[in-house]
Amino acid sequence: MKVYYRLVVVIAIMAIGLPVLSQQKAPNIAFKEKIYDFGRIKEEAGVVTHDFAFRNTGSQPLIIQRVVSSCGCTTPTWSKEPIPPGGEGFIRVAYNPRNRPNKFSKTITIYSNSSSGPVMLRIMGFVEPRPKTVKDIYPYEIDGLRLKTNHIAFTRTYKNQKKVRKDELINTSDHDIKIEFTRVPPHLTLKAVPQVLKPNQKGYIEVTYDASKKNDWGFVIDRVWLKLNGKEQSNSRLVISASIEQDFSKLTPEQRAKAPHISFKEKSYDFGKAPQRSQIEHEFVFTNTGKSDLVIHKVRSSCGCTAVSPKERVIKPGQSSNIKAIFHTGAYKGRQNKSITVITNDPDSPTIMLRITGIVEPPAEKK
């Protein structure tokens, strides 16, 4: 019996000791610190770096396999050679504060053959923004004239509405600049205040958008050109956008009850699979379930490959109609998702999105 108990004790000791021995044989990465605070840094000072030192506390060589940062502003470098038992290495983390003012907190994950698995490091701090230059404030330059933006967005604009927007500018040249505009459509009015800017003088462009004169609906874009000192500049194009909608805000409950209502049989069509350079056709059927005439203001596809045409523009109460969609698969391949936007005078659903989806298959490869 004594021999038996001795054997059991030996086996138990060996069982307990095996994991310890196995852990001692494995490499292990041990960092002196896992978080570093840069404190307050200046944006104009440029990239800052910090080295996270570590030691291999295991009994086998340690290999850093890869290091992954949480964003492109953080760039890590590290010891590439195997670290012997008891040896030391580093993970150097560089942070670029350019155009990243205020607080930051970024992580770096280290993957290695360490028995402890992946390790996460963290850097943090506060970026004091650099003083803004004239180029920062007015980033768009046209022959000495600098603007805050070359895109003036009016966002939601009702059909019976007139809106005004201003775009600040400055003359950074050494001579006077007279500002005029060309190719201006009837629904837009533009003026520069003042019209003649002296060197280093600030002003603004005032744009008036009269949606009642724009024969269109939904998201629309116009382009106008600046003429400086009597010459139209090739790079002086201004983009002016708006989303034109019908104003339903003043409708009474009685008027809403008598309004038109568009009801589609389906709003999505899956054509399954189709070969390249083929044509998919589908009719989206709808009914005016309201009590007055339904007007289709506009039908717009997501790209030129999807042609759409409403059968009728005015649909009487109780009447049904359809919107025919034609999708040319062309050289597309794989899953396709095309959309069709329908804009109506239905106060409950003024904008409806229809979708065509499916898989376009390329020709089989010849063996």
User: For residue 344, what are the domain limits?
Assistant: 253-361
Q: Report the chain's C-alpha Rg in angstroms.
A: 34
pLDDT at 6: 53
Mark whether 143 and 103 lie in a shared domain.
Answer: no
Torsion of CA 11, 13, 18, 21, to 10 degrees: -150
Mark whether 43 and 123 lie in a shared domain.
Answer: yes
d(CA 285, CA 307): 16
In a domain, 79, yes or no: yes
**Can you say how many angstroms the Cα of residue 217 is from the centroid of all Cα atoms in its chain?**
25
Among 195, 216, 245, residue at a domain's last position: 245
Decide: 212 and 160 in contact? Cβ < 8 Å: yes
d(CA 50, CA 124): 11
pLDDT at 72: 81
Residue (of 185, 196, 195, 161) closest to 240 by Cα position: 185
Mark whether 60 and 159 lie in a shared domain.
Answer: no
Series of mean pLDDT values for 10-residue runs along the chain (367 residues): 46 46 73 95 93 94 92 86 93 92 94 93 94 92 94 94 96 96 96 97 97 95 95 87 94 95 96 94 95 95 79 93 92 93 95 95 81
Mark whether 223 and 318 lie in a shared domain.
Answer: no
In a domain, 22, yes or no: no
In a domain, 3, yes or no: no
**Can you say how many angstroms the Cα of residue 314 is from the centroid of all Cα atoms in its chain?**
37
d(CA 247, CA 366): 58
Among 245, 272, 292, residue at a domain's last position: 245
Mark whether 319 and 226 lie in a shared domain.
Answer: no
pLDDT at 364: 83
Q: 95 phi and psi, to 5 degrees?
A: -120, 130
The enclosing H or E element of 206 equals strand 202-210
Q: How many domains does the chain have?
A: 3
Helix (H, G, I), strand (E, B) or coil at 267: coil
Residue (of 326, 329, 332, 325) closest to 277 by Cα position: 329
In a domain, 265, yes or no: yes
| Residues ≥6 apart with Cβ < 8 Å to 36 | 50, 52, 93, 121, 122, 123, 124
Residue (of 61, 66, 51, 109) closest to 87 by Cα position: 61
Two structure tokens written together for 124: 């943090």
pLDDT at 367: 61
Mark whether 261 and 356 lie in a shared domain.
Answer: yes
Residue type at 174? D
In a domain, 109, yes or no: yes
DSSP structure string for 54-115: EEE-SSS-B-EEEEEESSTTEEEEE--SPBPTT-EEEEEEEE--TT--EEEEEEEEEEES-T
The enclosing H or E element of 134 equals helix 134-137
Distances (CA, A) of 147 to 150, 190, 227: 7, 15, 14
Decide: 322 and 288 in contact? Cβ < 8 Å: no
- CATH code where residue 100 lies: 2.60.40.10
Among 79, 97, 128, residue at a domain's last position: 128
Two structure tokens written together for 273: 């699979």
Residue (of 245, 319, 322, 326) closest to 279 by Cα position: 326
Mark whether 200 and 280 lie in a shared domain.
Answer: no
Mark whether 150 and 216 lie in a shared domain.
Answer: yes
